[in-house]
Amino acid sequence: MTIAVVDYGAGNLRSVEKALLRAGGRDVVVTSDPQLVASADRVVLPGDGAFPDCRAALSHANGLGEALAEAVLRRGRPFLGICIGMQLLATEGEEYEPTPGLGWIPGRVVRIHPGDARLKVPHMGWNTLERHRAHRLVEGLDLGPDGLHAYFLHAYHLVPDEADDVVASASYGGPVTALVARGNVAGVQFHPEKSQRLGLAMLANFVEWRP
């Protein structure tokens, strides 16, 4: 089972690769080869930086956009976006300027506005997660106020048009989208590769996920 970690010049690739291997992935490939991405059994799209920059990098990566569509939309392979890779699933991002996303999970990427003025943006640090609904990716995970913590570093988050697309959220002066899913497409705002027990457990679920 090949897991393609997409290299489009905008992700924390090696840490994600190592975490997937620790989580039980056997054939994990960091690649910018459209053919490998299109034929992969699972696809992971990391992303660090600003939404417009990551979207431009993905658009300019020769053939990768079409390869993602082939693997995820036409072949129905399980997909996981991480951080900006999750935000790119939205219809549009509002960081710096309106920028079209992939539109796989309809919604907008908007700036976090904590209700508590003492909370700084970017949101950086460890938070527990609140489960909104059942999903294979959070199956068996210790969530809730006394549960495991996930590591976040971001100033924007995806607000889906449909509330049911939110699987889990964090609290940072108000709800922050932490995990979204629709069909074979999922995304996490936190960094599972840095989230220790929770992150490895979630990635292990992704490795076994059969939507």
DSSP labels, 72-84: IIIS---EEEETH
Q: pLDDT, tens digit, for every residue of 102-160? A: 999 999 999 999 999 899 999 999 999 999 999 999 999 999 999 999 999 999 999 99
Contact yes or no for 66/35 (Cβ under 8 A): no
pLDDT of residue 10: 83
Q: Is 132 a catalytic residue?
A: no
Residues in the chain predicted with pLDDT less than 50, given as ranges, are none
pLDDT of residue 86: 98
Beta-carbon contacts of 178 under 8 Å, excluding residues fewer than 6 positions away, are 127, 129, 150, 152, 167, 168, 169, 170, 188, 189, 190
Q: Of these residues, 70, 83, 132, 135, which one is catalytic?
A: 83
pLDDT of residue 209: 98
Question: How far is residue 208's CA from residue 23's CA, in Å, rounded to a whole number?
Answer: 10
Owner of token pair 């994990």 = 28
pLDDT of residue 117: 87
Q: Is 193 a catalytic residue?
A: yes
pLDDT of residue 19: 97
Q: Is 113 a catalytic residue?
A: no
